[in-house]
Structure 1
């Protein structure tokens, strides 16, 4: 017995030691393979029957059928269509009858709810899929759809069974989904043809094709018969059905004539002409000859006999534009000037330099604007703006009408949204900071939401390519909203189909980190996505507040130690106001288990225009970002997102010439706070950040190495050069780098001048010609199918090598703007670890005091 007790005592002691060791061991850190297994949830859509909610499930990354989507596969592909039965406890199931080896996306429903429209991408081929929800059968028209991330090619239903869409030429594929695969296959076919010797492989590009339509056509699809009919030649944008269903407005895309002077806010050499199609006769009319119409500006009056648009004479810049109203009965355009007002640009919220879309009421045109700098001058203005430009006057919705004084409709409301929820003949509905308001032309404001609603979030429509905030909901329908009342979050619908809009189907008591996806058609179930430390859950909630988890994803992330974000505020000089300083805040991710006495090495990530927001919450990971800061943190590095507001880094010398001082100030603040080892700081930049990081490396000291990925190095050759090898197949892309530099606002690299006008500015701001000033090890990473051509880093490598500076250069074949292939992602991180391990000094001996004074 005594021997048994001794054995038990020894076992207990060993178990206690083992338990203590387990308790003291650090939590598991993120591994690269954890990223490879990530799943996700995309958009959701209620089935009109009320039984199902359809949703996009993003399969584990390492199980994708291909990694060739667009410019990169992560976050954009891997989608499947699933459905959840809201009336039973059955688990979600894949929607039957679809291709399991395709990436498939929700696009929308027919007006009667019987046909589901999907976009299907397989092996570089993109097609429309019309899916019958009753029978589970599908139809794929031969004509491929044009797609655009700006939402200009969204298809439109003109009846319960007729769909009109912009179709590409036969055999063509939309670049946004297929650019890498299409380019690669075209090159292979031409190379092989040349080697065979039996086919001419010449390609010609010309700039004297003014007036020709961009290739494509407008087609009308009858989903009952599958018949596809030709409506119009050429590619069309901004399809817009009149409220009475009699006319379809569209913008024909026409090639511009050759000219030296052009609008420096334009992205391409195309203008848009208004076309009006009588859907009964299919007669096409061009009611606005000579006018270049802004895509996204078409707005019908409620009765369907008037159409508003924003336009300029062909060849004029958008800044000289005015609104026009077309009276279909008189076939006459009438200008609607806005004297004393400056129209708000969509660029302020990261879109294009064009006015926010107006609304056509019976009493006039409602436009989003602010008072002009000199309102007494009586001129109409549209000023190009930067993204999130500071110190602007507040915007409001104004009612304008020719010969009448304008009226501020949202006066007194705070934080007015640029996107209206609804409009009719005698009202508009807008979101403000404290509620949603219905406003009539006299300016009378009626709040539709109860007292105490705050943090209101409207669920704007979106599609496969167009993000929320680009597309508008059909007026007179419903909008899903989220709001906070006290400490409670609520979700519900506002129904605009009735004369007096009302809130309905309200769900309360929702957790802060839950995201509403869709409300069932019957209003009896709300589908939410819940992100937490234990992964991602798909949760169904009843009106009584009962929550049921119906799907759990990414459970392998449970228990990970992600590290901890910290905010670091400090002051920097204001170049626009000598002697003044501004407070900026950078965000620092400290690695898991970091001991304060031993500052870690740090990656300082640089991106022009960055205004990072710091959060301490668990990250929401739904795709394997190959540049994730959490991978750096898991490997023992702190990671800093450096604040670089555009107005503080732009000087008279160039758009990013103030960036070295900004990064130097961040370095001093980081070291003064003891957050990093002063001898182990690494500069890092991706995309626009790559050219910025190289610029900073040439103009500052105190860094051990620099990593530049998928960027460029010479502003002059980049201005003139192609956006990658894709211009071989898509020659219209030639010259599309130019607006980045020619712009006067809205671009991080805006010069406001061409190289013909100021060649020395391009030379003076190019890191390529600063190679002799870079004296730390450099790692250049690029790809051969990026929109920033690999030749830029070919030159940078040659320049650094010529100066004898230590430089490594790796490029990946078949990849676009970033790395998509799992094999290449793994290889990239092995190379990053090898580079930093060999170039960043080892940590100082225990007990030595790090330099926290900041240095130069």
Structure 2
């Protein structure tokens, strides 16, 4: 560390300590414009040799080049920064270009190269940067970014396997929220021209669903990052790839024909809709590809043995359900070895294999282990599968982790019960002291594919965290090194190597990125410093009992500078199972949904209610339980803050919270206004309606099962299809209880939301038919949350305008209060 680096670190560390005390009378409340101008840090990675770190630095959100890609719109404002881990300041890895975002891929095993991506409008391109020169070779290839499996993997320090899109179209995750307007414009133009039919054909037979839209061709290529030469290894609907430890083989999982779903899989929200076929491809040209035969291979498990001679999968015959399948090891010689897991299920109780919940299994040397539960029980453990009878490995733990921190040499590192453990085929051995409380330091990255997140890295160390301390622990239990951080909210470990780690601290919106090494902590970058001088409303806990008589907490937010007696009204915000305690003060959190800290900017107090989840209530009693739970929270608030206006209450909710708010409104007229955004209103209607993305791109993601699963077995939990539970669906649908809603209602929806906008439209129509007061606001090109800064600003403006009319000063009471709701 240079003297100037040390001085900078000292000054910033001092600023952390004194910032709260320096707030003065000139500090102003945070505004929505402040939030939309926030910057943030994205992905980070440390080179395998620990010499370099690269991280994504994302510019001001409202300066992004486009906003039709949902939460990934920020990718267009991303630059890559390179910093040496021992000393020096960060510098751009690539030359910036207006409107182009640069994204981080993975390091080569030797740390000399790194895979990168550039996003330029509707074009995504892969490239390889060589360190330390910074020379970049752009491939001209459009990478696929799978949601479930890997789309890239390094063979060695020079060669890279990459799944690419032959037509150069954007990957599904970037089209999901964008480009739909252009697709529809093309289809409408074809109809207007009258020369060719413009239509999509959907088919279902024996619960196997398909369409006549052709999928984009995916190609697996081998890239020589030095010469630029490419070789095609495979083609088709490539779902996942994995390189063997010796670099000789590639396991390639492809999606094949549609699956006739068995009864147990027909209401699975993320059901596997196509067969999975596995082939093993020789990277060095040792004969033709090896096929696993006609076996149906599940997504999200593709794990090579340490000896590189077998790959572990979960498989079944085509005439079986997933529950009848099992683990198998497919050899490079084509043999399939069944692995007995008698009496164990790798899925949760009442669940089956699907696209988004991985099967967790691995190798301890030549032995296989599986995370599973015994039939008839709800607890899952890790089991050794060496013979006919599974051997429990983690039953001594109070709570078994589903994720392994590291695997190597027949041993695994596991964090559980505030301790670090070594797991072998013989059981567990505690490595950390009973005086220490360690947990896994590196959190899952939700942007990475499901299978990649679920697979433990092959290494002899793991990143660990204990309160404000982060460090590295080895398989022998030795604390290789550890560093204490000044993170008030706890450190977030973004990347690590045996000798260095990238640490993020988030404090009241200010993000500080540091490098931790055995020598100590060095601050390298910081964003949103202006938030140190802003007043952010703080959550005040309100203790009370819930509907089951248990103690719980709700949280009250007051507008800065206003006494409780001066607020315009109180917004009672609901979402079953979640009460916002104000700890998530970061860019992405503040920009999503409706945040209490921003709702107070309209002069309103906000009460975030602590409600039990819907799972605790029978469907016929759910709305009544919600209403009683809200009443208990409101009364506790008024006891503690009696000066708050009890006659100017509004109920507000987003998504399932909006659904709960509508349900409460069918049981009480206590509230003078309702604000409901992106909420289901008619469970039978939601059950049967396509998502807009499924209509646009059925070849990439038929979403037929998504609403079925969401309503039957997901959050709604109806349990049966509508025709088998007509009364239950009516009792759980605010639309069918619209005659009980007398409160003025603001409905907010969007045409790209996975909760169809027809859900809000039908509720609006029902209130119109009764002569009740309602307003419907529809946003175009938006999804479940707004992404466009203009639309984000507008939705708050619309909400405040509605509230001022209904509960603010001069609010007009509805001329038709209606009859009191029927009990």
Contact 1:294 1:311 in 2 (8 A): yes
Secondary structure (helix, strand or coil) at the match of 1:439 reads strand
Secondary structure (helix, strand or coil) at the match of 1:693 reads helix
Contact 1:679 1:841 in 2 (8 A): no
Distance 2:692 2:720 in 1: 23
Deviations 1:630-657 (CA, angstroms, capped at 9, x unpaired): 1112333232333333355431538767
Deviations 1:678-733 (CA, angstroms, capped at 9, x unpaired): 22222222223233322222233311111111233222222221112652233543
Match of 2:640 in 1: 673
Deviations 1:42-66 (CA, angstroms, capped at 9, x unpaired): 2222246755421111101221111
Match of 2:606 in 1: 639
Match of 1:620 in 2: 586
Match of 2:469 in 1: 490
- Offset of residue 279 of structure 1: 2.8
Gaps of 5+ in 2: 1-21, 812-822
The answer to whether residue 368 in structure 2 is matched with residue 337 in structure 1 is: no
Match of 1:781 in 2: 748
Assess, with a 3 A threshold, how the Cα gap between structure 1 residues 468 and 336 changes in structure 2: closer, same or farther.
closer
Match of 2:41 in 1: 41
- Offset of residue 776 of structure 1: 0.9
Q: TM-score, normalised by structure 1?
A: 0.82
- Offset of residue 135 of structure 1: 4.1
Assess, with a 3 A threshold, how the Cα gap between structure 1 residues 227 and 186 changes in structure 2: closer, same or farther.
farther
Distance 1:116 1:24 in 2: 46
Contact 1:363 1:441 in 2 (8 A): no
Distance 2:626 2:122 in 1: 40
Match of 2:77 in 1: 78
Match of 1:14 in 2: none
Match of 1:400 in 2: 385
Distance 1:704 1:803 in 2: 18
Match of 1:93 in 2: 91
The size of the alignment, in residue pairs, is: 779
Match for 2:530 among 541, 556, 576? 556
Match of 1:302 in 2: 306
Assess, with a 3 A threshold, how the Cα gap between structure 1 residues 539 and 515 changes in structure 2: closer, same or farther.
same
Q: Which has the larger radius of gyration?
A: 1
- Offset of residue 142 of structure 1: 4.3
- Offset of residue 521 of structure 1: 6.5
Contact 1:117 1:128 in 2 (8 A): yes
Contact 2:64 2:74 in 1 (8 A): no
Contact 2:42 2:56 in 1 (8 A): yes
Secondary structure (helix, strand or coil) at the match of 1:233 reads strand
The answer to whether residue 490 in structure 2 is matched with residue 507 in structure 1 is: no
Distance 2:192 2:592 in 1: 39
Secondary structure (helix, strand or coil) at the match of 2:176 reads helix
Match for 2:686 among 686, 711, 718? 718
Contact 1:416 1:430 in 2 (8 A): no
Assess, with a 3 A threshold, how the Cα gap between structure 1 residues 594 and 373 changes in structure 2: closer, same or farther.
farther
- Offset of residue 837 of structure 1: 0.4
Match for 1:537 among 512, 517, 520? 512
Contact 2:268 2:354 in 1 (8 A): no
The answer to whether residue 580 in structure 2 is matched with residue 601 in structure 1 is: no
Q: How does 1:204-283 map to 2 (within 5 A)?
A: 204-207=201-204, 215-222=216-223, 223-258=225-260, 261=263, 263=265, 264-265=267-268, 267-268=270-271, 269-281=273-285, 283=288
Distance 2:196 2:134 in 1: 45
Contact 2:303 2:313 in 1 (8 A): yes
Deviations 1:50-86 (CA, angstroms, capped at 9, x unpaired): 55421111101221111122x3456666322122344
Contact 1:72 1:817 in 2 (8 A): no
Gaps of 5+ in 1: 1-21, 375-391, 575-580, 845-855
Q: How does 1:734-753 map to 2 (within 5 A)?
A: 734-741=703-710, 743-744=712-713, 747-753=714-720
- Offset of residue 803 of structure 1: 1.2
Match of 1:438 in 2: 422
Assess, with a 3 A threshold, how the Cα gap between structure 1 residues 582 and 311 changes in structure 2: closer, same or farther.
farther
Match of 2:360 in 1: 357
Assess, with a 3 A threshold, how the Cα gap between structure 1 residues 475 and 51 changes in structure 2: closer, same or farther.
closer
Deviations 1:391-450 (CA, angstroms, capped at 9, x unpaired): x54x4322233323x333224334332111233463222112232222222225151x45
Contact 2:49 2:110 in 1 (8 A): no
Secondary structure (helix, strand or coil) at the match of 1:748 reads coil
Distance 2:354 2:604 in 1: 35
Distance 2:481 2:158 in 1: 30
Distance 2:306 2:543 in 1: 51
Contact 1:495 1:502 in 2 (8 A): yes
Distance 2:125 2:770 in 1: 51
Match for 2:737 among 747, 770, 774? 770
Secondary structure (helix, strand or coil) at the match of 1:558 reads helix
- Offset of residue 195 of structure 1: 3.4
Assess, with a 3 A threshold, how the Cα gap between structure 1 residues 477 and 58 changes in structure 2: closer, same or farther.
farther
